Amino acid sequence: MILEGKRLLITGVVTRDSIAWEVARQAQESGAEVVLTGFGRARRMTERAAARLPHEVDVLELDVNSDDDLSALTADLTERWGTLDGVLHAIAFAPGDALGGAFLETPTTSALTAFQTSAVSLKCLTASLLPLLEQADGGASVVGLDFDASVAWPVYDWMGVAKAGLEAVSRYLARDVGPRGVRVNLVSAGPIETLAAGGIPGFEKLAGSWGDTAPLGWDSSDPSAVAGTVCYLLSDLSRGVTGEIIHVDGGYHAMGAPVA
């Protein structure tokens, strides 16, 4: 089992449809010990989803924009394990007025909220946990979930800008934590029908057209391929990989037009 003995922190589990939930499931079945995080009122949803995993897990409070929460999380994991082999950053948020096609009208405060929560948070989470990640035997891995930011998407607006920031943050993190034995990579996933995706106006149209262009096809209801790649990056099989963005999108990103 590729994650045998690994101790992993997984953020972003809200429902069983979450990519992060599928990562947690596959990680447990691959031998990892897992802790989840939840936030505010949604933490109850995380706990209900956690109860459906193969093995019991704890859910810790984490508002990634709160220094106090980050400190408490690090203290808990230090007492619990004393080391950390991997982290999944599956955190993103944009206010409603930062999505939907009114890019030019979005208030600056909303754009900054999207950037802070969806991009800067990768640095904040990694930096807070770095003392634990440095202790991992054979190196540790930080993985973030991405959506291709090399192009502009309909209605994605400032979340797309935030994802571009996430990609840049991941490269600079890879530069700075690599000498300390920590890898940083992103998985750029095709559209998956999650709770968060449901809050993006026009998501259904985007997801529906994906299969016409992706040469491998695409099932937006199945996060397993994305989760499998995340687990690979969390494992020692990826020990030589950092600063990378791996596309798990059926090949959509490489096509210039729909496949006949």
Per-residue confidence in pLDDT tens, the chain, 260 aa:
999 999 999 999 999 999 999 999 999 999 999 999 999 999 999 999 999 999 999 999 999 999 999 999 999 999 999 999 999 999 999 999 999 999 999 999 999 999 999 999 999 999 999 999 999 999 999 999 999 999 999 899 999 999 999 999 999 999 999 999 999 999 999 999 876 766 667 667 677 778 889 999 999 999 999 999 999 999 999 999 999 999 999 999 999 888 76
- H or E element that contains 79: helix 67-80
SS3 183: strand
Instruction: Please tell me the distance from the alpha carbon of residue 187 to that of residue 163, in angstroms, as a whole number.
Output: 12
DSSP state of 243: S
Please say whether the beta carbons of 225 and 189 come within 8 A.
no
Q: Which residue has the tokens 């096609």?
A: 101
Please say whether the beta carbons of 113 and 158 come within 8 A.
no
Q: Assess whether 205 carries a catalytic annotation.
A: no
The catalytic residue among 163, 172, 205, 232 is: 163
Dmax (CA) of the chain: 56
Give the chain's radius of gyration (CA, Å): 17
Instruction: Please tell me the distance from the alpha carbon of residue 41 to that of residue 102, in angstroms, as a whole number.
Output: 29
Q: Assess whether 156 carries a catalytic annotation.
A: yes
For the entire predicted model, the pTM comes to: 0.96
The catalytic residue among 123, 156, 232, 252 is: 156
